[in-house]
Structure 1
Amino acid sequence: MVEMSTGTTNLVRTLDSMDFLKMDRRTFMKAVSALGATAFLGTYQTEIVNALEFAETKLIWIHGSECTGCSESLLNGGNPDVAQALTKLNVNLAYHETLCMQQGIWNDGELVNTSELNSEILLEDLYKEGNYILVVEGSIPNGPDGSGRYLVIGNKTFKETLGEAAENANAIVAVGACACWGGITSADSDIEKETDYRGVAFKKTDASKGMLKELGIDKPVINIPGCPAHPDW
């Protein structure tokens, strides 16, 4: 004898108690639809729950010209705090220059060449893997003369770093005023044209001068302005 699940048993009992011949057409259609949904949910409830669970989202968070205020704001968030939010939403913060431990370990005068101890190798490995959300904090200098050399980290301009990081990103999040449109670094001054600080997708209000446009990269960008951005945003 085949045993029926509790959901199926209840469905059979409900069917037995209904007098379909006395129903009008609209009531009949509602009843059949409800019973069909009940049977479907009872049969596939495990699969539905699994499908609704958050898949892992990998984040790479890089820093340009900024004060780290947006990262500080994130860390000061509450209800949920940053650790709870990352866990609940199944977010893998794979790289963050301020929070990650891998910041270049030296051994006998040479950098250790493993991703566990060398942040540059870790970042390169993450770029190759792809399938990540890129978070950018801070503006990107394009000067002098389009070289980007007003911000050089590890013998590489941040303009180059952004280009490499953005290439395989699924999407980009610009956090804070500096990353969104240049912020205070792009304020009008005697040297503003020389430094040429830009946001990811905008320079001030000009979308044609965003750094991604300069680099020839077409990616969806979510802008979260603020100085700093509020952690709830």
Structure 2
Amino acid sequence: MDVSEAVARRISVRAFTPEPVPKHRVLSLLAKAGQAPSGGNLQPWRVHALTGPPLEELKARATANPAGEAPAYQVYPPGLWDPYRRRRSECGEDLYATIAIARQDRAGRLRQLAENGRLFGAPVGLFVSLDRRLGPPQWADLGIFLQTLMLLAVADGLSTCAQEYWSQYPQTLAELLDLPAEEMVFCGIALGYAAEHPINGLRTRREPLAAWAALHGFD
């Protein structure tokens, strides 16, 4: 599989089979992802991979506290404006449409939101962290690492879903992962094998090239 195919095939999977992912495949995936570039070669990422009882404990604690904790950061800025608000709204509507949850079905939407706390049934959770004293350039490096990891997962026959949902459980994660005070979790990644489920049929919309790219000096 070439890179273009991996990019085209990568989606956020929100329903996984319980089939375990062998340790050697997780280690291989992480080792390859570690080749991602970073400014000054800082390599600011850290990854905690959970499966089995540690992951089940985390799921149980998230389920017991659906409201979460004081978040580590705000996923979206307050008063989100267009076109970003429109894109987020379209994504949500398209997602819920795949599983027949109506806009007015608040209970149904909350139930689906809570599936994040189960990592959508994935057998492995990767929790990606960095030193909270680092700045925007290192957060960008982290994004490069995440995309590298997710594309490598596709090439290896695995599926993923990156979850900023876990930003609302900083205390729980710090305790369970034994994080030093300066380390914060940016996101979780559900990792495993995609299940046959309508929600995995979602393909989020993309803006046309002309909406975000400009060419200067080309013939």
Q: Same fold (TM over 0.5)?
A: no
Greater share of helix? 2
Which structure is richer in relative contact order (CA contacts within 8 A, separation 6 or more)? 2
Pair member with larger Rg: 1
Greater share of strand? 1
TM-score for both structures, normalised by structure 1: 0.24
TM-score for both structures, normalised by structure 2: 0.25
